[in-house]
Amino acid sequence: MKASLCHLFIPCALLAARAFASRSDIEIFRRSEDDLDLKEWLATSKRAAFVHDEKKASLCTTPNQVLEEASVYMHQPQAGRDDVQFSADHLLSAGRQVTNHLALQMPSCTNNAMEFAYFQSSVIGIFAGAEVHQHGVVSDVLKNLLKYVEDNAVSKTTVIQLCGVYGRGADYSIGIVASSAKNLPFVKNAVKTWADGGCVSHADIGEPWMPVTLRVPVPVETKSKNGNPPMPAPVANAVCGPMMVGTEQPSAGTNLSTLNPCPLNVCCNVWGQCGMNDDFCVFSKSESGAPGTSALKNGCISNCGRDIIKGTAPEKKIKIAYFEAWNYNRNCLTMDVDQIDTSIYTHIHFAFANLTPDFKVDISDQNIKDQFEIFKAMTDVKKIISFGGWDFSTLPGTFNILREAVKPANRETFMNNLVDFVKENKLDGIDLDWEYPGAPDIPDIPSDDPENGQNYYLLLSNLKNALGPFKSVSFAAPASYWYLKSFPIKLMTVDLDYIVYMTYDLHGQWDYDNEWSSPGCPSGNCLRSHVNETETKDALSMITKAGAPSNKVVVGVASYGRSFKMAKAGCDSESCLFTGTPRVSNAAMGRCTNTSGYISNAEIDEIISNGNVKQWKKEGSNFLVYNDTEWVAYMDEDTKTSRAAFYDSYNFAGTTDWAVDLQTFEDGSDNSDDDFEYEVRENFWAPCSGSKYKTLEQLDSRIGAALPDRCMEQYIVDAQVATLETGLNNYTKLINNGYDEKFKVYERYAKNQVPDQVVSFMVSDKVDKYFTCTSYDYVTCCDTCQHAACGLNCLRFDGCKNGMQKVAIQCPRIAPFIGFPDGKIVPNATFTLTDSKGFWKDIEEEYGIEQAWITFGKQQMRINTGCQYAKDYEQCVEKTYNFFYNYPIATNVSIYNPKKIIGDSFANVAELLNRFKMMKKLGDWDPLRRLSDLVDATSLPAYSTQQSITSMNEVIDIAGEIEKAQREEFILSFISGLLFFIPFVGEAAGLAGIAAARTVLRLIGVAGEAGLTIFDAVSHPENAFMSVFTFLAGAGVGRSGFRNAANSRRGITPDVYNTLGGVKTSLDKLLLATYPVVSD
C-alpha cells in the first residue's frame, strides 16, 4: 500500500517554482513557491537537507528579537459522529515522511506552511507559521509528537497546537492534527483554522504538553538593576532617541529607546539619526550593554528592523492605470483613453486636470478636453480624476496653488469646487498628487510651510466626508523618507480610501553630486535603477511601519525607463558612473518622449528589436545598454508580474502603473506611428554564420563557444522550427505505419487494467459502503459444542441449528487467487448492492471503471484440492471451490480510439509549421517584429509535437505477462501523447478524447496522477497554455498574434508549467539557452 503526501505553501511569492515526483514507497508531490530567481533556485536545489543553525537568531531579515517561553497544548477532540480509531504505526509512517519532507526544504521568510499526509488508516495535517518554522520549532514539536505516538500507541484523534498567543496571529502558530483517514475533512478544517489565525476549540484547551521558546520582536530592553538607567551622552545634531540635546531623565522604568521616536516610526540609530538602511535599522549590542545604546556599527536603538508589516487581505484588488491626458502633445506614442484594456485595470486615473489660482478645475486644453469627454463615457472601470503632478507642484507658475488651497482660509472653497466637479461629471473619485507638502528643498521655489502636511490631511479628510462612502479619495505618496515624513500617514490611511505609493524614481539624474542618494557612491552619479527591488522593499517597510495598513497601499510599477549616459563604455560594476549635472542629462532622447533621462517602454522595445543591445536582469530590475554608452533601467511585463505577486503576498491593495500610454504604440491619432522610418544599415552586423541548429541539444553543446548574443534567438528559432518539422515527419510515419499496432497494444493493456481496478475497489473499505453480504455455509451452533476448538468458529443466535444455511457476514475484502489453499478461510459470499448510484459514481470517478464494462456474476475465488480424481469434475468444482456471487466482473470493456483526433491535428500542425517558416523569413525585413516573440510562440507547438510522438512511440508490445507497474507506464505514455495532440485540434473538437483520457488515467490509479496534471492543462481553454494555441490559430503572419501567443507562453503559471512533463524539460533547456545563469 502506498501513501501520498502533498505539500503546499500559502501563495506569497510566485517568482519561481519546481515540482518532482518520487517513485519510492511513499509518493511525494511537492509544490514550493519561493521568492527566488532562477539562479538562486538552482543553487538552493543543490543544498543538502536543511539544518537549523542555532547560532543565527533567524534565517530572515527580522526586527530585534528576544526569547519568550510558551506552551504547546494537546487534546483529543471528537472528530465527528463516526470518529474511528486508526493504527499508530500508520500514523508514524505518515509523520516520518512529513519530517523528511520538511528537512529537504529551506523555510520561507514570508510564507506559512501547510502539510498533509496519509498512510492507510491514518491522516496527519500540519500548520507551521513562518516565524516559528524558520527557527526549527515545528520540526521539534513534530519529532516529540511522533515519539509520544510510538510510546503511547496513539489511535484516537489528537490535536497539538500553539495558537492565539498575545494576538500575534498565524505567523506565530503551530498546529498538528492526527486522525483517521475517514476524518480528512476535520483535519483540513483544523489546518485552515490555524492558517486563519484561530485555534481548534480554544488556545489552552487540554493539557500543556511541551514547552517551546519563541523569538519575538520587542522594543530595546532598558531595565537596569536599580530601575533608573543612566542617560546616554547628548549628540549635538541628534533628531531622535534619548541622545537628543535637551532630553530630560524620564521616570524610573521608562524605556529610553522610546524617547523622541523618528517620524513615520523609521529606525533611530546610536547617533540620533533616522533612516531605513543597515546603519539605522540593525541592532548590535554596545560594549557597556547600557539601555538606549548600541554598537557604533549597525547601531539601531529604536523601531529597529525593516520588515514589511503584513495587514489583512483587501476586500478587492486594485489595478490602476495612470493615463497621461497630454500625450497628444507628443509627435508619436499617442493614445486615446478608451484604448485602455478595462478587463485588466480596475481604475483609470486621468492625469491631470488643471487648477486655477482661485482653486477652480480647468480642462481648457483642447487635447485634454477631447480625452476627458471620451473618459466620462467609459464604463466597467472606476473613473478617477487626478490633480497635481511634479510639474504642477514645482514649476514657478503653479507651485503655490496647492500650498494656498490647503490653508484654512481656502480649504472649504477648494473642497467644494472638487466635489462639484466630481458630481457634475459623474466620476468615481479624486486623486491628488502634490509633490510634496512641507518640502523644504525643491529647486527654484521657496520652502513650503512645515504645517502643510497636516493641512493637506485635513483637506483630504474633509473631501472624503463630503463625497461620501461611494466616491473614493486617494493621494500619491513619495517613497522617500525625506519627503514622506511630512505626511501624517497613519491619520490619512484611516480616513481615505487608498494611497498611490510612488515606488519608482528611486534614482535619477538628480542623484548627481548627492552623496546621500546611493550608499557606496560618494559622488552620487553611480548607475542605479529607479525601481531597485531592495530599495522598494525598504520603502514598503517604511510606509507600513508608519501605520499604513498594507491593504490600503497601491504599489507603483513603471512603464518607462530612467536613462543615463555612461561615463565609460563597457563598464559593468557597481561603481560605473553617468555624466551630466543634477539638472541636465546627456542620455539619448526617445523618438517620442523626446526627453533625456526618461524613455518609454514602447521606445525601449523598439531599441531592443533593432539589435546592438546588451540586456540583463538584476535586483528585480531590467537593464539595457545600447549604442555602447546609453544605459537604461526599466521594468518589463514579467518583472511587473513578479512584483505584483510579491505585493500580493503581503496583502497590498494592488499596483498602479505610470503610465499606460507609455507601454505600446497604440497611436490613437490619424498620423500612424508606422510612418516612422528607421535607418537600416544592412552591414552593421556580420551575418550569423555557421550551420543551422536542428535541436536544442546541438545548440546547448555550443553555448560555451563564442555564439554572438544577437544570433542566439535566431538559432533557437531555427532549432524549434526544425524540431516541429522533424516531429511532423515522425507524425506521418506514426499514422501511416505504426499507429494501429500501437493502439492495439495500448487497448490490450488498458483492458487488462480493468479487472485489477475492480478488485482494488472491492478489497478496499468502500465495499462496506455499497454492499451487504451473506454466506451459505455449514453452521455450528455454540450451544452444541462438545470440545474447546469448536468455540473458535461457532455461531450464537436465536433459533440456531447445525447445518447448511444462509447467514449475514461482513463483506470479505479478498482478491481472487488462482492457486491452491493458502490456509485463509474464504467464504462463499453473495454480494447485494445497496447503493447503486453511489457505487457507479465512486468506481468511475476514483477507479476509472465505466458502468457499461461491468456485469454482476459468479467469480471464482479459490481452488481447493480433491477434484482432480472426481468422476464429475464440474460438479466437484461447484461444491468444493470458493466463489463470490453477484460480484462485479469486468466484461465488454471498450477502449476509445483517438485516431481521428490525432489525424485531424495533422493539417493544423503542417499549416502552423509553414507559418513559422514564413515568420522567420519576414523577421529579417520587419524591424518591429521581435525574434523573442517568435522564440516563445513557437516553443510550445514544437515541443508538444515532439513529446506527443515520443510518448506514443514508448508504447511497445511485450510478449507474455508484464508487471502491472510497467503496463500502467505504457498506458500513461499513450494517453500523454494523446493529450499533447489536443491543443492542435482545440478543446471542443477534442472533447471525446479528453473524456476518454480522464477515464483511463483514473484507471491506472497513482500512476495516472502525472497524466492528470497534463489533463488539467489541456482541458481548460482559458489557461495560458491553451491560449498559446488559440492565439496562433488566428495569428496569420501578423505581429500581434505571435506577440499575444508569446505573452501567453510567458504567462504560464508555475503550477501549470510544472505539469508538462517532457515539454517542461525542453522549455527548461530553452530558458537556460536564452537566459544563461551568470555570476554577478
Q: Which residues are catalytic?
A: 435
Selection from 1020, 763, 728, 748 nearest residue 902 by Cα: 728
Give residues with Cβ within 8 angstroms of 239, minimum separation 6. 260, 262, 272, 273, 274
Q: Is 1043 exposed, middle or buried (0-12, 13-18, 19+ CB in 10 A)?
A: buried
Helices and strands counted in the chain (H then E): 31, 31
C-alpha cell at 850: 465505466
C-alpha cell at 66: 528576544
Q: Which helix (H) or strand (E) covers residue 62, if one does?
A: none
Selection from 458, 372, 382, 454 nearest residue 414 by Cα: 458
CB atoms within 10 A of CB 556: 24
Is 860 strand, coil or helix?
A: strand
Please state the length of the chain.
1080
Q: Are 204 and 192 in contact (CB under 8 A)?
A: no
Would you state the torsion angle of the CA atoms of residues 129, 133, 137, 143, taken in this order, to the nearest 10 degrees?
100
Residue whose grid cell is 514507497: 25
Is 802 strand, coil or helix?
A: coil
DSSP-assigned letters across all residues of 569-632? TT--STT-BB-S-SS---SPPPTTT-BTTEEEHHHHHHHHHH--EEEEEETTEEEEEETTTEEE
Report the C-alpha gap between 158 and 144 in whole angstroms: 14
- Peptide bond connecting 943 to the previous residue in cis, omega within 30 degrees of 0: no
Give residues with Cβ within 8 angstroms of 135, minimum separation 6. 52, 58, 59, 215
φ/ψ of 980, rounded to 5, equals: -80, -10
Report the C-alpha gap between 677 and 426 in whole angstroms: 43
Give residues with Cβ within 8 angstroms of 792, minimum separation 6. none
Report the C-alpha gap between 704 and 707 in whole angstroms: 8
C-alpha cell at 511: 542623484
CA 542 from chain center: how many Å?
Answer: 25
Q: Is 438 exposed, middle or buried (0-12, 13-18, 19+ CB in 10 A)?
A: buried
Q: What is the CA radius of gyration of the chain?
A: 36
3-state secondary structure 673-706: HHHCCCCCCCCCCCCCCCCCCCCHHHHHHCCCCC
Give residues with Cβ within 8 angstroms of 264, minimum separation 6. 481, 484, 485, 489, 542, 543, 545, 546
Report the C-alpha gap between 540 and 553 in whole angstroms: 9
CA 460 from chain center: how many Å?
Answer: 36
- Peptide bond connecting 743 to the previous residue in cis, omega within 30 degrees of 0: no
Q: Are 778 and 866 in contact (CB under 8 A)?
A: no
